[in-house]
Structure 1
Amino acid sequence: MRLRNHEGTPVDPVPFLVVVGLTFMFVLSFGPLYGQALGAGLELSVGVSFALFLAVAFGSYYWQVWTARPETVGVVPASVRAVRLFYLMLVLAVLMIGLAIPLML
């Protein structure tokens, strides 16, 4: 998959695909459950969750692909990126646990 920014420069698609995949996982896993817990029907809950997923996917595409500047990729050292990735994994784990707790009670 060759994604290009608005200038026609090739952009790495992996960050975009990871964000879209994680958004799909979280929104379509928890969205319908929370919608039904709040009294909405299954169809409405899935529809709203899918609309939210599409909004985040389009926003992510704009931010990570369309306006990306590949020439600035090496500016941040790899050690700083690794620490950020570790903290992001912790945040995602806490978010997933935090979203699951109310549904279990």
Structure 2
Amino acid sequence: MNEWIEDEYDNNVYAMTGWIASQFFTEGLERLEGEEVTWDSYMTALESEPIKNPFGGIIDYSNGSRMGTQEMNLSKIAGEDTWEQVEGLKSIEEILGE
């Protein structure tokens, strides 16, 4: 579907999940802004403010929270480089029917 993604990874849920994880990881590094990279400085950077999930919701590591994604939307690939929302944000409990 996309010339810049190998067919075996195009629309692959594991590839998308890896992409999201890499977004959060690199956000922590970008927040260091030239500081020495240590686990302590990296965690402080991640805890400094919430990170917007490109597929909806936020991840907030402040105050020792390590909950990860708590809400998601359903999106699909639209064209070569955009996503189209299919369903809006829902909590994990709503998605699981709890």
Larger radius of gyration: 1
Higher relative contact order (CA 8 A, sep 6+): 1
Higher helix proportion, which one? Answer: 1
User: Please, what TM-score do these two structures have when normalized by structure 1?
Assistant: 0.32
